[in-house]
Chain A
Amino acid sequence: MRRFLVGVGVLVLAGLAGFWGLSRPSPAAPEDLAALSALTPDAQAGAAVFWAGGCASCHAADGADGDARLVLSGGQRFPSDFGVFRAPNISPDPVHGLGGWSLAAFANAMRHGISPEGQFYYPAFPYTAYRLMTDQDLVDLWAFLGTLPAAAVPSKAHEIGFPFSIRRTVGVWNRLYLNDDFVVTGDLGAEANRGRYLSEALAHCAECHTPRDALGGLDRSAWMGGAPVIGGQGQVPSLTPSQLRWSQGDIAAYLNDGFTPSFDTAGGHMVSVIENFAMLPEADRLAVAAYLLALPEMQN
């Protein structure tokens, strides 16, 4: 009996050690950070990265409009199966926002989902996509964020239940779901390649348009195949060519003015997404459209 108990104890310890090892944060390598700091930041170019990345859609205050979308005080609620996530303050406020951060801290957040304190962020923050961002876009975005107004508003706490309230669980999740490659592979041609980068690395379209598995990871075999609305009712539409059936011009125009080919209007979160896309050059909207038209159909 005693040997059995010791055996169980050893197994539990081994399990805990395994969890601890598997869930260990793996921050950016020193040489990667050195490569970033060697670049010359361009805040103006960062504005385009900011709009393409959709930062304002989640980090602006609830209902913010016009220039208020540049005040990234956070607070929006994102209900999910795991609880309610609250977007934090990412304005340049030194106390409540990113004012005291280094470029290295920003890179660790954007690429590894790790806070300056070494804590994991929840993947409601799409670092899973942003990690595919180029070095230059990352430093440009960081420079642009620094030009925005500071908001002295404390970030709200997430409302997440056990066991997901243990942030180390995200470390294991990251091992399962962090990828370093695009989902749609191969050379799609210059225009669709640009669209792939905009969609998969920056605009993170798949976060809503792709179904998730039980652990909340994206099902890459059903990429952009449509999904239930997270924390709401109804269905986010599929974007694959056979389902969407819009032309390249239709898609690009919709991303600019919000009208479908039959002049119905965009709704829900897409309204905010279109406000972002409308800030980009027409070539980028056409590129996203070209990428969507190159999407593979769902495998089943």
Chain B
Amino acid sequence: MKSRILFTAAVSVALVAVGATATAQSDVPYPVQARQGQFTLMQLNIGVMVGMIRGQADYDAARAQAAADNLVALSTLDQSFHWPEGTDNASISGTRALPAIWENIPDVISKWNDFGTAAVALADVAGDGLDAMRGGIGPVGASCSACHDAYRASP
């Protein structure tokens, strides 16, 4: 399991880099592109499971498990390098990150850890059937919203 997480994390990092390169024409600083890629990856993997819940795709235990494991892997990524000071939405354009993030680092870390906890709980059940997976998705979504409400500007 551990090596699988590490492997997935490595793949995730690579994908983040690819995602960032793809949008590198924009003026958004590279670390901001990296964290936006990180969130896009989170959305992509959640989407795999939400698509099954919505009936847009058949439930597939292996795909659900892979998506949930990816979320766990993403939650373990070290966040040191893609949140440099001066990359809030008051300082630069192209981000919705509120300055409050840098004023409340312990709370931000706590909310990020809540995502990790919810992702681990989801990964425990994602392969156990549609209903089990559905029950695990709610807390993950709630952990996203909790941080967005406090630290992300509305569009």
User: 1/0 contact trace for B43-61 toward A, CB 8 Å?
Assistant: 1101100100110000000
Using A257-B50, A257-B53, A267-B145 as known contacts, say yes or no to A262 and B155 having CB atoms under 8 A apart: no
Q: Which of A38-77 contact B (CB under 8 A)?
A: none
Report yes or no: B152 in contact with A258, Cβ–Cβ below 8 A.
no
Q: Does A173 contact B (CB under 8 A)?
A: no
Q: Does B111 contact A (CB under 8 A)?
A: no
Contacts of B47 in A (CB 8 A): 259, 262-263
Q: Does A268 contact B (CB under 8 A)?
A: yes
Q: How many residues of B contact A (CB 8 A)?
A: 18
Using A229-B154, A237-B155, A258-B141 as known contacts, say yes or no to A267 and B149 having CB atoms under 8 A apart: yes
Q: Which of A210-241 contact B (CB under 8 A)?
A: 229, 233-237
Chain A residues touching B, majority SS: loop
Instruction: Tell me the smallest distance from the CB of A243 to a CB of chain B, in Å.
Output: 10
Q: Does A31 contact B (CB under 8 A)?
A: no
Report yes or no: A236 in contact with B154, Cβ–Cβ below 8 A.
yes
Q: Does A266 contact B (CB under 8 A)?
A: yes
Instruction: Tell me the smallest distance from the CB of B139 to a CB of chain A, in Å.
Output: 12
Contacts of A271 in B (CB 8 A): 142, 145
Instruction: Kindly state the separation between the CA atoms of A258 and B53 in the bound complex, as whole angstroms.
Output: 12
Q: Does A265 contact B (CB under 8 A)?
A: yes
Q: Does B66 contact A (CB under 8 A)?
A: no
- The residue in chain B whose Cβ has the minimal distance to the Cβ of A253 is B54
Q: Does A264 contact B (CB under 8 A)?
A: yes
Using A257-B53, A266-B145, A267-B149 as known contacts, say yes or no to A234 and B43 having CB atoms under 8 A apart: no
- The residue in chain B whose Cβ has the minimal distance to the Cβ of A265 is B144
Q: How many residues of A contact B (CB 8 A)?
A: 18
Report yes or no: B54 in contact with A262, Cβ–Cβ below 8 A.
no
Contacts of B141 in A (CB 8 A): 257-259, 265
Report yes or no: A235 in contact with B154, Cβ–Cβ below 8 A.
yes
Count chain B CB atoms within 10 A of each CB in A253, A258, A265 and give the residue with the most: A265
Q: Which of B127-147 contact A (CB under 8 A)?
A: 137, 141-142, 144-145
Instruction: Kindly state the separation between the CA atoms of A264 and B40 in the bound complex, as whole angstroms.
Output: 9
Report yes or no: B43 in contact with A262, Cβ–Cβ below 8 A.
yes
Q: Does B92 contact A (CB under 8 A)?
A: no
Contacts of A263 in B (CB 8 A): 43-44, 46-47, 50
Select which of A237, A257, A258, A262 is within 8 A of B154 by beta carbon: A237
Instruction: Tell me the smallest distance from the CB of A246 to a CB of chain B, in Å.
Output: 13
Q: Does B153 contact A (CB under 8 A)?
A: yes
Q: Does B35 contact A (CB under 8 A)?
A: no
Instruction: Tell me the smallest distance from the CB of A247 to a CB of chain B, in Å.
Output: 12
- A residues sitting closer than 8 Å to B (CB atoms) are 229, 233-237, 253, 257-259, 262-268, 271
Can you offer 18 A-B residue contacts whose CB atoms are under 8 A? A229-B154, A233-B154, A234-B153, A236-B154, A257-B53, A257-B137, A258-B141, A259-B50, A259-B141, A262-B43, A263-B50, A264-B144, A265-B141, A265-B144, A265-B148, A266-B145, A267-B145, A267-B152
Q: A262-B47, A263-B44 are in contact. List 14 more A-B contacts (CB 8 A).
A: A234-B154, A235-B155, A236-B154, A237-B155, A257-B50, A257-B137, A258-B141, A258-B145, A263-B46, A263-B50, A265-B141, A265-B144, A267-B148, A271-B142
